[in-house]
Amino acid sequence: MYTTSVPPKAKAVPSGLEAEPAVLTGGLIGYARVSTRDQNLDRQTDALTAAGCLRVFADKKSGKTSARPELEKALAFMRPGDTLVVASLDRLSRSLQDLIAMVAELRRREVGFRSLHEQLDTTTPGGRLVFHVFAALAEFIRELIVEGTREGLDAARARGRVGGRPPVMTPEKIAAAKSLLPEHSISAIARMVGVSRGTLYAHMDAITTPQPS
């Protein structure tokens, strides 16, 4: 009597940890960045070339600057199955939120991401898991900030104060401006009261309204 063996059922891969991209073309595209024109790109470009990058795009822009034309060219150049490679994470972004958003955008395009210094590679399950942890940590920090702000506002209201910036033009400043208006210019009153001319003009109705006798 013959029996047929049933192959073991493959374990389901958790959502978000599926292969990325689904089909690797092996096309490695490098991106390098330095903050100023005086800094040298050679160390990064040498590392990216040694890693097997077919082409390297390079910006001389600050990480705080949103306009990075060479990065835009790199993203336009890549096709599904390619992998964007950087020398280190801070060359792509200075912010954890921006980094997560960028990697998510690459994933949407079916493009992988690799950082040489941190040895992170989203084309592997371990690399994808690390970025999931990054995303969860960023969301946790955001929720802590929101919760802390809410608790601070609640405590302020309990003490009879409300949140937000204090008013620039207070009743005391309006009264002072009233007393100064006949003998001083608007610019002089603004300096003495401690507000801008625009703020003073915005409250001119209240300042020029006669006080009740």
Residues 6+ apart with CB under 8 A from 45: 30, 32, 56, 58
Please give the C-alpha separations between residue 100 and each of 91, 92, 181, 188, in angstroms, as whole numbers: 14, 11, 56, 51
d(CA 159, CA 141) in angstroms, rounded, equals 27
Q: In CATH, which of 3.30.9.10, 3.40.50.1390, 3.40.720.10, 3.30.2030.30 is domain 28-123?
A: 3.40.50.1390
Tens-digit pLDDT profile for residues 73-120: 999 999 999 999 999 988 888 777 788 888 888 888 899 999 999 888
Tell which wins on pLDDT, 59 or 152: 59
More confident residue, 13 or 126: 126
Domain boundaries, the chain: 28-123, 171-207
Q: Of 94-103, 139-148, 173-182, 191-200, which gets the smallest average pLDDT?
A: 139-148
Q: Which residue is listed with tokens 């969301």?
A: 139
Query: Whose CA is closest to 45, among 81, 79, 70, 82?
Result: 70
What pLDDT sits at residue 130? 81
pLDDT tens-place string over residues 14-64: 444 444 555 566 799 999 998 876 578 999 999 999 999 999 999 987 656
Instruction: Answer for the pair 34, 71: CB distance below 8 angstroms, yes or no.
Output: no
Query: In the prediction, which pLDDT does 48 show?
Result: 96
Distance (Å, whole) CA 175 – CA 207: 7
Query: What pLDDT, on a 0 to 100 scale, did the predictor assign at position 127?
Result: 80
pLDDT of residue 192: 80
Which residues are 86's β-sheet partners?
31, 115
Catalytic residue numbers read: 35
Least Cα distance to 80 among 21, 163, 17 occurs for 21
Instruction: Answer for the pair 114, 83: CB distance below 8 angstroms, yes or no.
Output: yes
Q: What's the confidence (pLDDT) of residue 58?
A: 93
Residue-level pLDDT at 169: 78
Q: What is the model's pLDDT at position 208?
A: 79
pLDDT of residue 7: 46
In percent, the amount of the chain with pLDDT more than 70 equals: 68
| Residue 180 vs residue 37, higher pLDDT | 180
